Structure formats: structure tokens, C-alpha cells
Amino acid sequence: MNHKIEKIASCVCGCHLIKFEKWTADEGAWLQIYENSFYSKQHSKVRAYLKRLWSAIRGKEYLLMEISMSDEDTIGLRNALVGATTPPEVQE
């Protein structure tokens, strides 16, 4: 039986969300990060690019975004990840 495990966790500010998906019959899973298009247009793309480039030149990491989740979303995402990585014989 092939069913989908899915959990969407939203940022408390409403700007971003994480979507976790896994089909039980497939190998691998998907973790997708979405950004509200309004917020993506509020900053200069050239400035953001130059900041990332400067960080790369210096050998530093660059934080693209941070998602602050509620406790409920955190627990739901954890449960989805555990459910997706638990072998089928253990789930029964």
C-alpha cells in the first residue's frame, strides 16, 4: 500500500513554511521551503546576492532564512519524520 506522509509547518510570522513529503513505496523524502512572494520582493536581490557571494569568498556559511515554528508544528514535523523513517514491520 502506497500512501503519502505529509506535514506542513509554518513560520509563526507567516513569511515561510516547510513542507515534508514522503511516499511510503518510494525511497527518499522531500523537504521543501516556501517563501511568501510579498516578503521576497521587499529586499534588493543584488544586495542579497553580494552578501552570499562575500560569505562564500570568505569561506563562511550564509543563512538564507530561518523558520520559527510553534511547538505544535515542531512535534508534528518530528512525528512525520519518525513515521517516514520507521521500517514498515515496526509500524504495524
- Kindly report, residue by residue over 58-92, the tens digit of the pLDDT: 888 766 667 777 888 888 888 888 888 887 676 65
* Domain total in the chain: 1
Cα gap 85→91, rounded to integer Å: 10
20 near 30, Cβ under 8 Å?
yes
Instruction: For residue 54, give the C-alpha cell.
Output: 562575500
Count other Cβ atoms within 10 Å, centred on residue 7: 19
pLDDT of 60 reads 80
Instruction: Specify the pLDDT at position 65.
Output: 66
Nearest to 31 by CA among 7, 55, 49: 7
pLDDT bucket at 52, cuts 50 / 70 / 90:
confident
Looking at residue 56, its pLDDT comes to 81
Contact 24, 88 (CB under 8 A): yes
pTM of this prediction?
0.56
For residue 52, give its domain range. Answer: 4-91
- Confidence category of residue 42, pLDDT binned at 50, 70, 90: low
